[in-house]
Amino acid sequence: MTTDIKAPDQAPTAEQPPSRTTARAPKRRSWTGLWFVLPFTAVYAVFLLWPMVLGLYYSFTDKSLTGRPVSWIGLANWAEAFADEKAWDSLWNTAWFTILSTPPLVILGLVFALLAHRARKMGWFLRLSFFAPFVIPVSVVTMIWVWMYQPDGGLINHYLAEWGLGGDRLWIFQEDAMGSVVITTVWWTMGFNFLLYLAALQTIPPEVYEAADIDGANWLQKLWSITLPLLRRTTVLVIVLQMIASLRIFDQYYLMAGGGMNLSPENVFIQYMYNSGFVGFRVGYASALSYILFVFILLIAFVQLRLLSRKED
């Protein structure tokens, strides 16, 4: 931090010498580098570091969107957040979504990548159809899926009824629609994991299978004892990235609840935070909630990296 503050005073002196001193010896210490780094660092400081500091400060105040004077209220927001049942409910729902969505997202990503790796002649078509949903805006995704989920004659319930799976319950849209959000999310974002696995598969040299081929191993044995162990690093990465992404769920949940799906409107944590801040105007309280989410995500990422990378050794 001290160097940050020192930098601007020293900067003017850097203006004359750089071209001469640094051009000859790129590694010699000078202030030139600072000019390269400064534009990004400035934007970073204003739109990331400062909001972080500000958020922490607000979490100790009763700051409100209505703009009335701010007063320091110590740990009151934090105490309230930890005792807030709705906040815990929404956190649990976020965790539940993560638990439901991570396994299919990881496993399907792997299975589809294994298929696409073998079926190389269809590679272009498979990459298009598995990954294309990932580049589509979330509102388009939810528009299409809400339309397909419609209870009376929507595409999915139509076929479920036709195959005798739906009957009058029309389960895919009723009661707890979390399953529908999970299915939509799997369709939308599986492609990213698919590509990570596919790229990893392509780095495996074919020679590693030669010994197994000579021994007459079948594809399942090769998959189990060669391919999967070689993919372990990728799997660690995919699981960690996936869980972090799932814990941040907001967009599709918000839009599907707004699209008439049977979802409790405050059911995921970011939405609860958003509502506290922008609907309830309680910026201070919402800031405390933000920090709880932030710490929660960091903890999970840290624990996972620890657990999973230990297994690797």
- Chain residues 219-258 in contact with another protein, contact rule CB under 8 A: 219, 234, 237, 241, 244, 248, 250-251, 255, 258
Q: Is 204 left (phi over 0), alpha (psi -120 to 50) or beta?
A: beta
Could you tell me the smallest distance in angstroms from the CB atom of residue 233 to another protein? 9
Which positions from 291 through 310 interact with another protein, judged by CB under 8 A?
291, 293-294, 297-298, 301
Give the SS3 label for residue 231. coil
What whole-number distance in Å separates Cα of residue 159 and Cα of residue 155?
Answer: 6
Which positions from 101 through 130 interact with another protein, judged by CB under 8 A?
112, 115-116, 118-119, 121-122, 124-130
What whole-number distance in Å separates Cα of residue 44 and Cα of residue 195?
Answer: 30
Residue 204 has a CB neighbour count (10 Å cut-off) of 14
Which positions from 13 through 32 interact with another protein, judged by CB under 8 A?
18-19, 22-24, 26-32
Report residue 115 CA to chain centroid gap: 25
Could you tell me the smallest distance in angstroms from the CB atom of residue 102 to another protein? 16
Which positions from 29 through 68 interact with another protein, judged by CB under 8 A?
29-37, 39-41, 43-44, 46-52, 54-55, 58
72 touching another protein, by CB under 8 A? no
Tokens representing 10 are 């020293």
End-to-end Cα, the chain, rounded Å? 37
Which is nearer to another protein, 113 or 178 (by Cβ)? 113
Which is nearer to another protein, 100 or 157 (by Cβ)? 157
